């Protein structure tokens, strides 16, 4: 396919490179990033989108997505698909889909799970909202960039799925880190703790696949001094999106709200910025119950 790719940062660049390696013709645009090998760079987002069958965006937030969509949709050919892989608020995703539909374009919101490693390896999971025809058009690209794409329903539902998933992830990581810190104070060996919980009812992905305790379980960022696989800053962004969505939907999410508040304190007032989101464990290790 002829593809436009806008946003060639840590995630977008390897995704675009994998598309090139699979034989697709990719024209890219980014305000700052260097061109991945094989990607022809355009002078503007609109130029990258012109003539493309699918335009992929990987952008930092909903405001930037809206601005880019307003620029590229007039330049796209009728029947082309705007495929947004950013993680943004549900309202922005649905507004961009309406913007695309108004000029005869398909639109998909398809945020990803898997991080930079998954982008490089082509093993991302895509959570996709949008119409069936657009999903069918984009499916071959999902198969190159990832290992799984789940069609979650109409526009905005991909973002809804990502937000709900990461709210669970943020809450369970905090609980996992709290439990390890408590086990330490009770004199329970961390390996014994892992062996029990990883095969019992407290089991979670945070414990068995991304253990926050160094030297326990499969290799994780904890074993590299908490250099980020998934940064605490990004977890905070996603948790805040979950609370914006909860407020808009009038949903009661007290654990999600508390997780957002704890990550905000960790990132903005403590030493969490630039560290992996599992670095909550050393945070709890150094705290006493009397601490607020």
Assign residue 183 the CATH number of its domain: 1.10.1040.10
Domain that holds residue 51: 2-153
- What sign has the CA pseudo-torsion 122, 123, 127, 130? positive
Q: Pick the last residue of a domain from 131, 153, 175.
A: 153
Total number of domains in the chain: 2
Gap between the Cα atoms of 116 and 229, Å rounded = 7
- 168 sits in which H/E element: helix 157-186
CATH number of the CATH domain containing 88: 3.40.50.720
Residues 54 and 75 placed together within one structural domain of the fold: yes
Place of tokens 């069609």: 151
pLDDT, residue 50, reads 97
Mean pLDDT of 256-280: 97
Asked whether residue 130 carries a pLDDT value surpassing 80, the answer given is yes
* Cα gap 282→245, rounded to integer Å: 30
pLDDT at site 116: 86
* Catalytic status, residue 219: no
pLDDT of residue 102: 96
- Final residue in a domain of this structure, among 126, 153, 180: 153
CA dihedral angle for residue 60, residue 64, residue 70, residue 71, rounded to 10 degrees: -80
Residue 291: pLDDT band (50, 70, 90) is: low
Q: Looking at 2, 162, 185, 237, which residue is catalytic?
A: 162
**CA dist 133 to 12, 80, 130, 286, Å?**
24, 11, 9, 53
3-state class percentages of the chain: helix first, strand second, coil last, to nearest 5: 50, 15, 35
* 43 and 145 both lie in a single domain: yes
Q: Within a domain: residue 291?
A: no
């Amino acid at each position: 396919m002829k593809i436009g790719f806008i946003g060639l940062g840590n995630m977008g660049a390897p995704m675009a490179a994998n598309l090139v390696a699979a034989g697709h013709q990719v024209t890219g645009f980014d305000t700052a990033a260097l061109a991945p090998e094989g990607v022809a760079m355009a002078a503007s987002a609109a130029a990258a989108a012109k003539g493309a069958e699918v335009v992929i965006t990987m952008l930092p937030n909903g405001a930037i997505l809206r601005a880019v969509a307003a620029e590229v949709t007039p330049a796209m050919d009728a029947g082309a698909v705007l495929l947004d892989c950013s993680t943004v608020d549900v309202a922005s995703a649905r507004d961009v889909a309406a913007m695309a539909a108004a000029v005869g374009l398909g639109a998909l919101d398809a945020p990803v799970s898997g991080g930079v490693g998954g982008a490089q390896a082509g093993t991302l999971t895509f959570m996709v909202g949008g119409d069936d025809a657009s999903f069918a058009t984009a499916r071959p690209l999902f198969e190159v960039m990832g290992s799984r794409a789940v069609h979650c329903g109409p526009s905005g539902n991909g973002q809804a799925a990502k937000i709900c998933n990461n709210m669970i992830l943020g809450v369970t990581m905090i609980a996992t880190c709290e439990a390890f810190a408590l086990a330490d104070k009770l004199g329970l060996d961390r390996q014994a703790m892992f062996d029990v919980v990883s095969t019992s009812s407290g089991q979670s992905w945070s414990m068995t696949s991304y253990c926050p305790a160094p030297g326990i379980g499969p290799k994780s960022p904890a074993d590299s001094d908490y250099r980020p696989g998934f940064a605490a800053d990004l977890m905070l962004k996603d948790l805040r999106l979950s609370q914006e969505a909860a407020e808009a939907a009038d949903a009661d999410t007290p654990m999600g709200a508390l997780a957002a508040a704890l990550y905000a304190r960790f990132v903005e007032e403590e030493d969490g910025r630039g560290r992996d989101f599992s670095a909550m464990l050393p945070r709890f290790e150094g705290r006493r119950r009397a601490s607020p």
